Amino acid sequence: DDLIEEDESPVRWFRANTLKTSKAKVLKEFSHLERVYNITDIKKGTIFYDEFIPNLFGVHPREKITTSDAYLKGRIIIQDRSSCFPAFILDPKPGVDKVIDACAAPGNKTTHLACILENSSRSVIAFEKDNQRARTLKKMCTIAGGLECISIQHADFTSTNPDDFPEITAMLVDPSCSGSGIFGRAYEENDTDNKENNPYNEERLDKLSNFQFAIVKHGMLFPNLRRLVYSTCSIYPQEDERVALRLLRDEDLKKRGWKLSNQNRVISKWPRRGEVEEFSNCSDPEACAGACIRSLPKVDGGIGFFAVLFERDPNMEAADS
Ligand code: SAM
């Protein structure tokens, strides 16, 4: 019963929804579980408080969480640890920042943003183009108690006019990807056994990365944007570092002052960074890779993931205008 199946996460992660509860209250609600202080000590009957993401807890995957009152009432939200990286890295400030979540459904990162923004009124605009998924997004935001802070737009983000949003200062772009970081979905290039379900298909990855580049570039054209996090649940560099590099090299974006951030501002103590060799033609490959964060499926305690923080130098804007 305690054995972890091949296609499941070694840890089930959930976040205290601070719109409704707190770390201390969650620990009290789950006080029937013994607190452990090392991720490797997680077994059935224990609870672990994460060292990287505030308000995040890990339990054994077989622990009954989805039937708990805390889950059913939205006091806790099940979300993989690395999927919590983007909103935490973006780090918007309550009462100061106005944020767009460009690809929002089902809304895990949207409600995380609302928590970080302390539910400040009308601080997040969440775009979702798919009808069914936009409904799920609304349901998730309602259960989380975030509708004061989050405004949901059932629309294609790329059809927005950036100049209509001068108030937006921060953005999260988590577009559709191959999902190769999710268990059982990662295949190697030469894996021909399961061709039909093999997401490693150069043509498909090309299409995905072109779309990912285009949607992030659109986001970078918002006139007063200062920070943007791009993320995927893919482990393939085509969708990760190579998209970041293409954005970094784009002449329009360079003129606007967009740069990769610095490891100090991207969960610096998390050990697994971007792939340095992907930035080998940059003047400081280590620094570029440091602005990226990666997690590998299972070995890093959850799904495979990639996130990178871009920042914009406001002085460049003056030079440009
Ligand atoms: N950020 C979400 C979360 O953490 O719960 C997961 C986002 S999922 C990886 C990508 C989502 O982007 C899908 O729901 C997809 O329908 C949506 N999407 C793709 N292209 C879009 C576009 N042009 N405008 C708005 N949403 C889009």
Testing ligand 1's pocket by substitution, the residue of 53, 82, 116, 129 carrying the most ligand atoms inside 8 A of its CB is 129
Percent of the chain clearing pLDDT 90 (strictly above)? 88
Q: Which is catalytic among the residues 149, 177, 233, 292?
A: 233
Residue 108 alpha carbon to ligand 1 centre in Å: 11
Give pLDDT tens digits for 144-155: 999 999 999 999
| Cis peptide bond upstream of 237, omega within 30 | no
Residue 315's pLDDT is what?
A: 74
Residue 128 alpha carbon to ligand 1 centre in Å: 6
- Separation of CA 57 from chain center: 17
Q: Which amino acid is at 21?
A: T
Whole-angstrom Cα distance, residue 115 to residue 107? 12
Atom of ligand 1 nearest to the CA of 172: 1
**How large is the ipTM?**
0.99
Residue 208 has pLDDT above 60, yes or no: yes
**Atom 17 of ligand 1, residue of closest alpha carbon:** 103
Buried b (16+ CB within 10 A) or exposed e, 179-216: bbbbbebbbeeeeeeeeeebbbeeeebeebbebbbebb
* Contact partners, residue 219, CB within 8 Å, separation at least 6: 100, 102, 157, 171, 173, 225, 228
Whole-angstrom Cα distance, residue 162 to residue 88? 24
Residue 321's pLDDT is what?
A: 40
The reported pTM is 0.94
Residue 196 has pLDDT above 90, yes or no: no
Residue 176 alpha carbon to ligand 1 centre in Å: 6
Catalytic residue status for 84: no
Ligand 1 pocket list (CB less than 6 A)? 83, 103-109, 127-130, 133, 156-158, 174-176, 215
Residue 184 alpha carbon to ligand 1 centre in Å: 21
